[in-house]
Chains A and B, each alone.
Chain A
Amino acid sequence: MNIVMIGASTGGPKALRSLFEYLPRIDAAVILIQHMPKFLNVSFCKALSERTLMDVHLAVQDQLLEHGVVHVAPSEYHLVLADNRRIDLVRGVKVNYVCPSVDVAMLSLQARRDDRFVGVVLTGMAADGAEGVRHIKNLGGMAFVQNQMTAAVYDMPHSALLTGAVDFQGSPKSLREKLVETFGVLETTTQTVTG
Chain B
Amino acid sequence: MSKQIMIVDDDPAVRYTVLEVLRGADMNAIAVDSGEACLEELRKGFHGVILLDIMMPGMDGWDTLEAMKREGLNEGNIVCMLTAVISPSEEMDSVKDNVLDYVRKPFDPDGLIATAKEYLSYLRTVPDENE
Contacts and interface: CB of A to CB of B under 8 A. Distances in A.
Contacts of B103: 152
Given A37-B74, A153-B88, A155-B88, A46 B94 contact: no
Q: How large is the interface on A (under 10, 10 to 19, 20 to 34, 35 or more residues)?
A: 20 to 34
A98 B98 CA distance: 10
Contacts, number: 79
B88 A125 contact: yes
Contacts of A99: 97
Interface residues of B, number: 30
Contacts of A12: 100
5 contacts: A13-B101, A13-B122, A42-B126, A43-B122, A43-B123
Interface of A: 9-14, 17, 35-37, 39-40, 42-44, 46-47, 75, 97-99, 124-126, 152-155
Interface of B: 74-76, 78, 81, 87-88, 90, 92-94, 96-104, 115, 118-119, 121-127
Given A98-B97, A126-B90, 7 more contacts: A37-B78, A42-B125, A43-B122, A43-B123, A46-B125, A124-B96, A125-B96
